A and B are shown apart, each in its own frame.
Chain A
Amino acid sequence: MFSQCTKMKYYSCLSVFKHQWDQVTSAVWQKYPNPYSKHVVSEDVIHRSLLPDGKRLYSQRLLTKTNRMPRWGNVVFGANAHLVSVIEESVVDPIKKTLTTYTRNLGYTTFMVVEEKCVYKQSSENSSWTELQRHVWVDSSLLGFARAIQKFGVERYKSNSVKSSKGIQYVINKMFVPEQVSNDIPQKVEQLTKKAKAAQDLARQGKRDHAVQ
């Protein structure tokens, strides 16, 4: 097998199998499992029928794959985001000798959509060989996503830094401007202080009773 590929958001790649189209097509149906497919966890045909022309075969195949992401992906999607569903549609044309597949992911589409079209056909150079032309489109609002993460990070930082400054101010006041403190204490802190005092009193009460016994 040999390949020639381009780069970019649209990516295409031509490979040649030195085997007949019939054999390659049969192999595609029996592709899983294989040593290179450890990340494929399940495979199911969920639809299969002849097209209205009575000749071409249309199928849908559902695959679940492990979702290998960089660690920050787990931070966003949660540690259990480890499986993704992928759906493959296909049409076999036994007369023209073409197999076309169209594969896309079902989950995580807000994060990234990968669509791949594969066309397997008899090689124009050698009729006992099979050409596979792959076309891949990677659509990612990754840029927008990075911006969203950035925005979230900045907003959270701003909120935390306000709290941080208020905290310092409070302590400064407590240390150097005691008359200022009562104006600055938020209600919650006052309640907590009251609760703490009540608990202290109760504890003292308990000790006294115990001593009496």
Chain B
Amino acid sequence: MNSLSEECTPLKQEYDACFNSWFSDKYLKGVTTDHCGPLFQKYQECVKKAIKDKAIDLEQLEKRILGTANEKQIPES
């Protein structure tokens, strides 16, 4: 799958591979530390720049809704 910007795609793919294997083999089995940090950092630098270049509102993007009072409430049946 492509990243927002073509130049970030290889960084994304490298990070995703690291994350996916850690997630299934380690995290779900209780190991919370991972070694994907450096890859993630490189990938993030690239993506954050792409977000800026495409004028996507980063503030809106990073807003947390899940787990807050701003979540839509499930109506009582």
- Does B1 lie within 8 Å of A46, measured CB to CB? no
Q: Is the CB of A32 within 8 A of B1?
A: yes
Instruction: List B contacts of A47 (CB < 8 A).
Output: 62
Contact B66 A91 (CB under 8 A): yes
Q: Per-residue CB proximity of A148-190 to B under 8 Å, as 1/0?
A: 0000000000000000000000000000000000000000000
Cβ-based interface call for B53 (8 A) = no
Interface of A is mostly: strand
Determine whether the beta carbon of B4 is less than 8 Å from that of A44: yes
Chain A residues whose C-beta falls within 8 Å of the C-beta of B15 in the assembled complex:
45
Instruction: Pick 15 A–B contacts, CB within 8 A, sort by A.
Output: A26-B24, A29-B16, A42-B1, A42-B2, A45-B40, A46-B47, A46-B51, A48-B19, A50-B32, A62-B47, A94-B30, A100-B66, A102-B65, A106-B56, A117-B72
Q: Beyond the given A40-B1, A57-B27, A137-B72, please list 7 additional residue pairs across the A-B interface where CB-CB is below 8 A.
A: A10-B75, A22-B24, A29-B19, A43-B3, A44-B8, A46-B44, A104-B65
